[in-house]
A and B are shown apart, each in its own frame.
Chain A
Amino acid sequence: MATLTINGTSVSIPQGALLLRAVEEAGITLPTLCHHDALAPYGACRLCLVMIIAPYRALVASCTYPVEEGLVVQTHAPEAVQARRLTLEALMSRCPRSDVISKMAEREGVTASRFGMPSSGNADELCVLCGLCVRVCRDLIGAAAIEFIGRGSERRVGAPFNMHSDACIGCGACAEVCPTGAIRMEDRGNQRILQAWNTCITLSACPECGRFFAPEPTRFLKDMFPEIKACWNVCPECRRQKTSRQWLNAGQKTD
């Protein structure tokens, strides 16, 4: 365990844990975009910056910085606050129509951006390039359907060649983790549409009720997880009905 001081409060954290966890233990909530407990830290958004004031001075991203015994940290030192505010001004300029960003900015005392907008040239931009979608798809799901494309201010997330992705399994994890709602997943009939990736996935139909319920590409799951083999064959509603009938029957028999 390492003991460190966050804004005057002493916290004890296991060695190898990251500074952001210590900050949370001390009861402080910092704004974050690219952080997710289920994913390896990335350090891209730079919102979680804190100032280490002893035994050395350094402005560090708490989501990627390992804890050390004896660190003295100020989460709201002027340098950290200033860095956070300018980062938010820059993000507001990039995504002027994002409510998530403007609310986050307001909480940090930023009501307007002095930078010209929209900095990306697209007033409807919602993507903040946090990389959560890329990382969940690649590192957690393993489908690796999308990646960062291009460099610098040309950087964006997309499927190869900006075309329909054969690797996408339609799981929706990307839409789930996106902090700004830039990724939408929509089911229309037997098609699951992920507009952001120009991708349309065909959904399987339930043999009992005919509803479309699972993306075809996830079929491989029933081979990977034998326990769900039976589940695959009907939709969740029919499965629920089937299971309750089985319980009812079983109950009647024992009566």
Chain B
Amino acid sequence: MKPITAVSVSILALAVALLVDRGAGLRPRVEIPQAAPASPTPASSAPQAATTRGGTLAKGTIPRSLPPDASHQDTVDTLPPGKGQEETFYMCAACHGTALIKQQGMSRELWEASFQLMIDRHGMAKPDDADRALIIDYLAENFPPRRKGRGGDNPFLK
């Protein structure tokens, strides 16, 4: 590997890791009811908006645009391809964006703990054992720990 190639490739990879695609296409199974899109001309149409949207909050409290969660449109292909990609997407993205998944890097054991946390704390549906294993395998395979310390592997972890 030539030094300069390694560096440019790595910077690209860092960037790619932080990107979230926003293409159209398949959507999560569960649709969360969201507010209507913000008015294009908030200043002039404010009184009208007040009657149709349930009234005006004090100045400054009405957002001129809705926060990103209102227009969240992750699709299956925002997750890397692999066995379990679709199952993982539909299970996880029913509630949260794939960015939350992609920024993590954990062992299978910790992914399993995360999965259980979603069931216990957040009321995620309990899949059957086969789907559970498929999804946890996918997460562990695609999002393993990527950071390690100066000394390389921790001698106390297998």
Q: Do A and B come from one complex?
A: no
